[in-house]
Amino acid sequence: MEDLDLTHIPYDPVTFNPEIDNPTFPQLEQPQDNQMTVDGIDLGRHLFYDPILSGDLSMSCSSCHLPSGSFTDNLALSKGIDGIEGTRSSMSLLNVGFNYRGLFWDGRIFSLEEQALLPVEDPIELHASWPNVVQRLQESELYPEKFRKAFGIDSKDQITKDLAAKALAQFERSLISSKNSKFDKVLLGEDVFNGQELLGYEMFFDIYQGSNPDIPDAQCFHCHDQPLFTNNAYENNGLDESQTYEGFTDLGHGKVTGIIGDNGKFRVPTLRNIEHSAPYMHDGRFETLDEVMDHYISGGHFSPTRSTFMDSIELNTVQKEAMIAFLKTLSDPNFNENPDFSNPF
Ligand code: HEC
Ligand code: HEC
């Protein structure tokens, strides 16, 4: 019989302290029973990029969450190993550890640990079974040692789906963008906006609050507030028309809470690195930031749950271009290329 014992491998966990280096940021909360360690993140990173997690060994988490797309797949709707298209667009995992008010577009899941269990068995994603995946991990050359180093298990048969999910969650919490965008550098006094970016900034945050007729309120900050550029709330930004509470094609958050006042609401996503994660919205309906701005300028479609902040906004072409220029200051040149986040294989 094969030797399952791992105790000859040292278990020496080293705490990982995320480098946020931005005083405006909140604390990164971590579950008591899953604090980040260097080896935990390393294991999670390997699992994230490894097709060992999929039924036919053809796809991994990274197939739909690619670093080049700010950890999206740059598709309107994602496709799993069987080529079946889902109904939602892949989400950026940038700063995902700060999403304390529910995950997914509709908020149906609460923790990254819980989330990480789902794609493996989802028939339109990795379409495998956890017992098979766990068996592959136990029999692999690579993983038993990594699980030992990350979690101190004594034997290969202590590898479980829950430990795999914990490691994935640790890696995901490390995907932080907090200090390298032009926006952050301006705030930290290390750079300055050009005139166009400054105009966009002033409209985004309504700096003049109506006192300057040349600088209209674009209303964005109510939902996409700094520093995360999301308030993590669920809002209806007027994507779909419905005369009634029940008439939405996708009920969104309402399907989760059962409250009709939540119908048609979706989680406000971060705008950090938004330049790299097209197409936009939960169903990827807008190809460009230009189309997104046209939507906000029009105020979108009527429905009973549309936010009162979604009144049409009056921006001329110069102002619209300035908004887009400001949004691009949220791009983090180091994030997509960060060697710590890249494919380790
Ligand atoms: C087939 C494509 C696909 C694969 C494979 C995939 N995802 Fe996703 N992921 C998505 C889509 C689509 C969503 C949005 C789903 C929704 O809101 O209903 C999403 C959402 C998420 C979210 C929620 C982010 C947030 O801010 O709420 C996390 C976390 C995540 N995925 C992690 C993973 C991990 C970890 C894996 C591998 C175990 C994985 N994904 C595999 C497509 C995929
Ligand atoms: C009432 C709250 C609210 C306001 C105000 C608001 N947004 Fe949004 N925004 C959202 C929500 C909710 C979504 C996701 C909607 C969905 O996909 O169903 C979103 C999505 C986006 C997206 C696409 C993000 C992605 O990852 O696909 C961009 C870009 C965006 N908003 C920019 C802006 C800008 C610029 C402004 C100001 C002109 C603005 N938003 C005002 C709530 C708001």
Instruction: Identify which ligand lies nearest to the alpha carbon of 90.
Output: 1
Taking CA atoms, 14 is separated from 32, 55, 94, 149, 168, in Å, by: 16, 33, 24, 10, 17
Q: What is the dihedral of CA 209, 213, 218, 219, to 10 degrees?
A: 30
What's the pLDDT tens digit per position in 44-102? Answer: 999 999 999 999 999 999 999 999 999 999 999 999 988 888 999 999 999 999 998 99
Q: Which atom of ligand 2 lies closest to the CA of 233?
A: 12
pLDDT at 2: 65
Q: Is the pLDDT of residue 1 over 60?
A: no
- Residue 169 · residue 30 · CB < 8 Å: no
- Indicate the residue type of 130: W
What's the pLDDT tens digit per position in 100-126? Answer: 899 999 999 999 999 999 999 999 999
User: Cβ < 6 Å from ligand 2: which residues?
Assistant: 218-220, 222-224, 235, 237, 239, 266, 268-269, 271, 274, 277, 280-282, 292, 296, 307, 309-310, 323
d(CA 118, CA 124): 11
Q: Which atom of ligand 1 lies closest to the CA of 77?
A: 12
- Residue 311 · residue 104 · CB < 8 Å: no
pLDDT at 312: 78
Q: Is the pLDDT of residue 225 over 90?
A: yes
**% of the chain at pLDDT higher than 70:** 99
- Test site for ligand 1: of 115, 174, 265, 266, most ligand atoms within 8 A of the Cβ: 115
pLDDT at 333: 87
Q: Which atom of ligand 1 lies closest to the CA of 269?
A: 26
What's the length of the chain? 345
d(CA 206, CA 47): 43
pLDDT at 311: 83
What's the pLDDT tens digit per position in 289-304? Answer: 999 999 999 999 999 9
d(CA 244, CA 115): 32
Q: Which atom of ligand 2 lies closest to the CA of 204?
A: 37
Q: Is the pLDDT of residue 133 over 70?
A: yes
What's the pLDDT tens digit per position in 162-199? Answer: 999 999 999 999 999 999 999 999 999 999 999 999 99
d(CA 38, CA 108): 30
Distance from Cα 119 to the centre of ligand 1, integer Å: 7
Instruction: Identify which ligand lies nearest to the alpha carbon of 315.
Output: 2
Residue with the two structure tokens 């692999």? 140
d(CA 297, CA 315): 7
Instruction: Identify which ligand lies nearest to the alpha carbon of 101.
Output: 1
- Test site for ligand 1: of 104, 118, 137, most ligand atoms within 8 A of the Cβ: 104
pLDDT at 313: 87
What's the pLDDT tens digit per position in 5-30? Answer: 999 999 999 999 999 999 999 999 99
- CA nearest neighbour of 329 among 117, 223, 186: 186
**% of the chain at pLDDT higher than 90:** 94
- CA nearest neighbour of 232 among 188, 276, 259, 266: 266
- Residue 303 · residue 247 · CB < 8 Å: yes
